[in-house]
Amino acid sequence: MFQHRALLGLGCAVPVRISVDRTLRVKVIDACGMTCTFCHNEGTPVSADNRAPTAGAFNPAGPSGRVSIYLARNGARFVAAPMHPDEGFRNALEQLQEALGFTEAHLTGGEPTLHPKLAQLVALAGNSGYRVSVTSNGENGARILPGCVQAGLQRVNFSIFGTDPGELAEVQNVKFRRAPLAAAKIEALDESIRVALDLGLRTRANVVLPDRSHVGRVHRLLARYSPRLSVRVLSSLADGEESLDAIDTLLAELGAEPYEVHLIAGTSGFRISYRLPNGRVLVVKHIRPLRLPETCTGCRFNNNADCQEGYYGVRLYRDPVGAFHVGVCIQRMDLCLPVEEFIGSGLCGEIRKLRDQEFCGMST
């Protein structure tokens, strides 16, 4: 088993669950009503600021105030366009499912709930044999989630960037750092979480913990929302040991006891579940330094300082002319390939081999 600081000291009494990564991340829309200063935007340029760009000459900072933090160096060659619930999308999903055995489609953005046909996308993916989940900032969830649940949506992950207007405003582009706007976003998030829970939807809150100054945010989340809301803390690779120290502090303050480690073969993410004294569950998600053994060898980012998420998994994009692209790294968008080319490439085979080898290694 791989070594990671978070696993040290857990002891052999904590059960380990092992699975294989079978999740396809699908960027369904680029639009977003927030301007978070740390956004990777799934590796693609901000479409609102690049209406008619020349490949390789994208505008990194436009009037939208949004960012795509890896754009300057990731070799992006296209702007992401909205997915349509049509035969092209169905074919891409089914081809990738056959090639890599995907069972879950995780819909991302931008902000997916701004897609006017999100429910139709959910239904199409479900009819193609996928479980469907979505990540949202909550700005439009109250309006659109009921239809998505009717269409078959099974889980929503709310990304929490602030528990009050001041916290949220602090991580927005300076031009949009206005308290009334942040307050409206917080109110919309609260309502979206309430609606999701009332619908019986599996609902998570994801919060990144960069350092100890953010520990109070998790305490406020736990106090503010129903125990039915699952809270998941994410470590920050950009902040390294400071982030891990903050997580240790949080767990100690909460009196959290580990009860399960979930290792996922073929992806850099893994999770440790903790039980709090009141019985509530807290999940901590970490990133390990997983690399594709051939593709990542020789990459200029292949070091502990520059590689932010390792090999995280497969992503699906659609460009403005309707072509579908498969990506394997948001810091190396030059690795993106058209779906058919990807399926026939050595890269697809490399992913299958990595998953199989990791699963065997973790299981012994």
Tens of pLDDT, residues 260-302 = 999 999 999 999 999 999 999 999 999 888 999 999 999 999 9
91-143: per-residue pLDDT in tens? 999 999 999 999 999 999 999 999 999 999 999 999 999 999 999 999 999 99
Residue 237 has pLDDT above 80, yes or no: no
User: For strand 281-287 and strand 104-108, is the pairing parallel, antiparallel, or unpaired?
Assistant: unpaired
CA-to-CA distance for 340 and 80, rounded, in angstroms?
Answer: 18
Query: Check: CATH 3.20.20.70 for 5-363?
Result: no
Confidence of residue 304 (pLDDT cuts 50, 70, 90): confident
Average pLDDT, the chain: 93
Reported as a pLDDT band with limits 50, 70 and 90, residue 60 is: confident
Closest CA relative to residue 250, chosen from 207, 203, 303, 198: 207
Instruction: Characterise 340 by phi-psi region: left (phi > 0), alpha (psi -120 to 50), beta (else).
Output: alpha
* Integer CA distances (angstroms), 313 to 41, 290, 297, 350, 351, in order: 15, 10, 17, 12, 9
The pLDDT-based confidence of 1 (bands split at 50, 70, 90) is low
pLDDT for the residue 236: 79
Task: Give per-residue pLDDT as tens, 158-212.
Answer: 999 988 999 999 889 988 888 899 999 999 999 999 999 999 999 999 998 888 9
Phi, psi for residue 61 in degrees, rounded to 5: -150, 105
Q: Check pLDDT > 80 for residue 7.
A: no
CA distances for 328 relative to 101, 164, 237, 295, angstroms: 16, 35, 18, 10
Residue 357 has pLDDT above 80, yes or no: yes
pLDDT of residue 295: 96
Mean pLDDT along residues 221-238: 87
The C-alpha atoms of residue 50 and residue 330 are separated, in whole angstroms, by 18
Q: What is the pLDDT of residue 53?
A: 56
Report pLDDT for 210: 86
Q: What's the confidence (pLDDT) of residue 363?
A: 86
Q: DSSP class of residue 53? A: P
Q: State yes or no: pLDDT of 2 exceeds 70.
A: no
Report pLDDT for 11: 67
Residues β-bridged to residue 6: none
Residue-range domain boundaries for the chain: 5-363
Q: What is the pLDDT of residue 101?
A: 97
pLDDT of residue 56: 59
Q: How many CB atoms lie within 10 A of CB 332?
A: 22
Identify the pLDDT of residue 5: 75
Given this model, what pLDDT does residue 51 score?
A: 81
pLDDT at residue 182, rounded to an integer: 93
What mean pLDDT comes out for the span 47-74? 84
What does 163-178 look like in DSSP terms, one character per residue? Answer: SSHHHHHHTB-GGG--
In the prediction, which pLDDT does 302 show? 95
What is the structure's pLDDT at 336?
98
pLDDT of 240: 78
d(CA 218, CA 204): 13
**In 3D, which of 267, 330, 316, 338 has the Cα closest to residue 128?**
316
Q: Which residues pair with 139 in a beta bridge?
A: none
Q: Say yes or no to pLDDT of 305 above 90.
A: no
Q: What are phi and psi of 350, to 5 degrees?
A: -65, -40
Q: What is the C-alpha separation between 236 and 70, in angstroms, rounded? A: 16
pLDDT of residue 55: 56
pLDDT given for residue 61 in this prediction:
79
Token pair in block for residue 362: 């973790």
Query: Which pLDDT tens digit goes with each residue over 311-353?
Result: 999 999 999 999 999 999 999 999 999 999 999 999 999 999 9
What's the CA gap between 193 and 158, in Å, rounded?
Answer: 8
